[in-house]
Amino acid sequence: MTVCVLHVAAEMYPLLKTGGLADVVGALPPAQSQLGSDARVILPGFPAVLAGLTGIEPVAVLGHAFGAGEVRLERGLLEPHGVVVYVVRADSFYDRPGNPYLDASHHPYGDNDRRFALLAWAAARVATGADPDWHPHILHAHDWHAGLAPAYLRAFERSSGTPRIPSVMTVHNLAYQGVFPAEQFGVLQLPPDFLAVDGVEFYGHLSFLKAGLYFAERITTVSPTYAREIQTQQHGAGLHGLLQTRSHDISGILNGVDYSIWNPSTDTTIDTRYTPAKPTGKLKCKAALQERLGLERNDDALLFGVVSRLTEQKGLDLLLSAIPDIVQRGGQLAVLGTGDLALENGMKNAAAAHPGAVAVELGFDETLSHSIIAGCDIVMVPSRFEPCGLTQLYALAYGSLPLVHRVGGLADTVVDSSLENLADDLATGFVFDAFERPGIVAAIRRAFALKARRTEWKTVMRRAMTKNFGWEAAAQDYAEIYRGLRPSDQP
Ligand code: ADP
Ligand code: GLC
């Protein structure tokens, strides 16, 4: 029988995106539908979400909740895959310009607890029959924004006596937990006994993510290595105790690449298309990028690229310390990013100190992100921690060798160009171990050394481009987890 899955999330490409979560929520449901599921998504009614859907129609009036006024449920279609998207309409909560989480001065909105409690509550309502035409078998919550959904399923089961559907909580990033003052518990409309260690309480506060990790039947995260890391004190962000007790319910499923969007042979946003067999167009992409960013036009300059949120996680302070090592060797650096002021300033200063060799664009620019991934020789992802990481996967597809720190999904997807790995035909990029300047500098030196051996560079580049990180494998793994939750589906 067709398995019906409701994904609960705050963003979805191409409607609204601040990071990789959107890419995943945009790509996983169509991949699941390809395998025969009916995968739908529920999102807050942000202006960009409403603008990007077609055929929006009313489904139900959900009533007054969380002080948002009258909440309505609507349903539309997202082309080109035809994914059905439910929208929570509460304009006083969601009809705000710009970033979905932050106000104009980059501070979290003061009512984010109620805004995302509403998303989770509305999802649980869909799971309990709010759309008379569609009844999901599984609720799949993504990150803290959806973390309360499994808690509402339990609460509704208790009040109605009707068995709940099972839920899966996917952690895309344990660093963002949705922590709010415990005094806010009253507004969540949950049973009083849920404010407990066995519930939503977290060191005297409320944690939306913890609620999901406690109440969901299964927990997944976005790479096998990160699944292990989050169960350690070092990477567990205060949740490792709970995660250790749920160890048997945790799986690490690597994200995929949507090759209908990230494919150098079909990408209409890049200067020239190219393939592993005929990669000459890549050089034209490099020339176009150098031109566009005001870098010196030079085919031979080893061009390093970054497309990233500028936050502590991404380790770009380490890259800043290594810029002289790139420039002194005749290399160049192109950065596209937005985020913390200190990192933005650090990047701007580096560009000013090395005109023609370092170029920095501050902002979020989807088209330029493709141009950088295509035009660079190397894409750098020196993250302190990285649950999965998508830019290194996009880089592989475009033959831009990733240079990464050996953590999380980066460790699972990039193979260092050590002599052994080159000899064994395994190398796809550059990986450093210790998060310290000597580590990244040594990796940068390996990149220059490999570039000097043109034939070997081309071999590694072709290998990178032909790796398959399509979504099908992940969709199969999620299907397996859903089957485990619905024993009646066993063949
Ligand atoms: P994270 O989700 O932690 O930010 P990922 O590597 O999983 O990291 O995903 C980041 C996504 O956001 C990628 O699709 C990347 O291309 C995109 N991205 C990040 N910063 C920018 C930016 N400044 N402009 C355009 N796209 C960006
Ligand atoms: C998070 C992580 C990133 C991951 C993305 C999608 O934002 O930081 O590593 O790739 O989610 O799962």
Q: Is 336 in the pocket of ligand 2 (CB under 6 A)?
A: no
Q: How far is CA 353 from CA 88, 348, 363, 380, 389, in A?
A: 48, 9, 20, 20, 30
Question: Which among 223, 219, 216 has a CA at the least distance from the CA of 244?
Answer: 219
- Protein residue closest via CA to atom 9 of ligand 1: 20
CA 132 – CA 134 distance, rounded (Å): 6
Fold for 4-256+472-485, please state it: Rossmann fold (3.40.50)
User: Could you tell me the distance, in angstroms and rounded to a whole number, from the CA of residue 201 to the centre of ligand 1?
Assistant: 31
- Protein residue closest via CA to atom 10 of ligand 2: 389
SS (H, E, C) the chain: CCCEEEEECCCECCCECCCHHHHHHHHHHHHHHHCCCEEEEEEECCHHHHHHCEEEEEEEEEEECCCCCEEEEEEEEECCCCEEEEEEECHHHHCCCCCCCECCCCCECCCHHHHHHHHHHHHHHHHCCCCCCCCCCEEEEECHHHCCHHHHHHHHHHHHCCCCCCEEEEECCCCCCCEEEHHHHHHHCCCHHHCCCCCCEECCEEEHHHHHHHHCCEEEECCHHHHHHCCCCCCCCCCHHHHHHCHHHEEECCCCECCCCCCCCCCCCCCCCCCCCCCCHHHHHHHHHHHHHCCCCCCCCCEEEEEEEECHHHCHHHHHHHHHHHHHCCCEEEEEEEECHHHHHHHHHHHHHCCCCEEEEECCCHHHHHHHHHHCCEEEECCCCCCCCCHHHHHHHCCCEEEEECCHHHHHHCCECCHHHHHCCCCCEEEECCCCHHHHHHHHHHHHHHHHCHHHHHHHHHHHHHCCCECHHHHHHHHHHHHHHCHHHCC
Q: Is 388 in the pocket of ligand 2 (CB under 6 A)?
A: yes
Provide the 10 A C-beta neighbour count for residue 198: 10
Q: Is 391 in the pocket of ligand 1 (CB under 6 A)?
A: yes
Query: Residue 487's pLDDT is what?
Result: 65
pLDDT per residue of the chain (491 residues) written in tens, 0 to 9:
899 999 999 999 999 999 999 999 999 999 999 999 999 999 999 999 999 999 999 999 999 999 999 999 999 999 988 999 999 999 999 999 878 999 988 899 999 999 999 999 999 999 999 999 999 999 999 999 999 999 999 999 999 999 999 999 999 999 999 999 999 999 999 999 999 999 999 999 999 999 999 999 999 999 999 999 999 999 999 999 999 999 999 999 999 999 999 999 999 999 999 999 999 999 999 999 999 999 999 999 999 999 999 999 999 999 999 999 999 999 999 999 999 999 999 999 999 999 999 999 999 999 999 999 999 999 999 999 999 999 999 999 999 999 999 999 999 999 999 999 999 999 999 999 999 999 999 999 999 999 999 999 999 999 999 999 999 999 999 999 999 998 665 54
User: Could you tell me the distance, in angstroms and rounded to a whole number, from the CA of residue 20 to the centre of ligand 1?
Assistant: 6
Binding residues: 17
Ligand (nearest to CA of 360)? 1
Query: Residue 489's pLDDT is what?
Result: 59
End-to-end Cα separation, the chain, in angstroms: 10
Ligand (nearest to CA of 365)? 1
Averaged pLDDT of the chain: 97
User: What residue spans define the domains of the chain?
Assistant: 4-256+472-485, 281-468
Query: Residue 105's pLDDT is what?
Result: 84
Query: What pairing do the DSSP bridges indicate for beta strands 303-310 and 332-339?
Result: parallel
CA 226 – CA 412 distance, rounded (Å): 9
Q: Residue type for 430, please?
A: F
User: Could you tell me the distance, in angstroms and rounded to a whole number, from the CA of residue 457 to the centre of ligand 1?
Assistant: 26
Q: Please determine whether the domains at 4-256+472-485 and 281-468 fall in the same fold group of CATH.
A: yes
Q: Is 258 in the pocket of ligand 1 (CB under 6 A)?
A: no
Q: Is 259 in the pocket of ligand 1 (CB under 6 A)?
A: no
Fold for 281-468, please state it: Rossmann fold (3.40.50)
Q: Is 408 in the pocket of ligand 1 (CB under 6 A)?
A: no
Burial 92-102 (b: 16+ CB within 10 A, else e): ebbebeeebbe
Q: What tokens does 93 get?
A: 């909560």
- Protein residue closest via CA to atom 11 of ligand 2: 172
Q: What tokens does 46 get?
A: 């942000």
Rounded to 5°, the CA angle 84-394-340 comes to: 90
Q: Is 21 in the pocket of ligand 2 (CB under 6 A)?
A: yes
Q: Residue type for 294, please?
A: G
User: Could you tell me the distance, in angstroms and rounded to a whole number, from the CA of residue 121 to the centre of ligand 1?
Assistant: 28
Q: Are 375 and 349 in contact (CB under 8 A)?
A: no
User: Could you tell me the distance, in angstroms and rounded to a whole number, from the CA of residue 393 to the centre of ligand 1?
Assistant: 12
Q: Is 167 in the pocket of ligand 2 (CB under 6 A)?
A: no
User: Could you tell me the distance, in angstroms and rounded to a whole number, from the CA of residue 387 to the centre of ligand 2?
Assistant: 6
- Protein residue closest via CA to atom 1 of ligand 2: 172
Ligand (nearest to CA of 308)? 1
Binding residues for ADP-alpha-D-glucose: 17
Ligand (nearest to CA of 172)? 2
Among 23, 254, 258, 372, say which to mutate for ligand 1: greatest number of ligand atoms within 8 Å of CB.
Answer: 23
Tally of CA atoms within 13 A in the half-sphere of 240 that contains its CB? 12
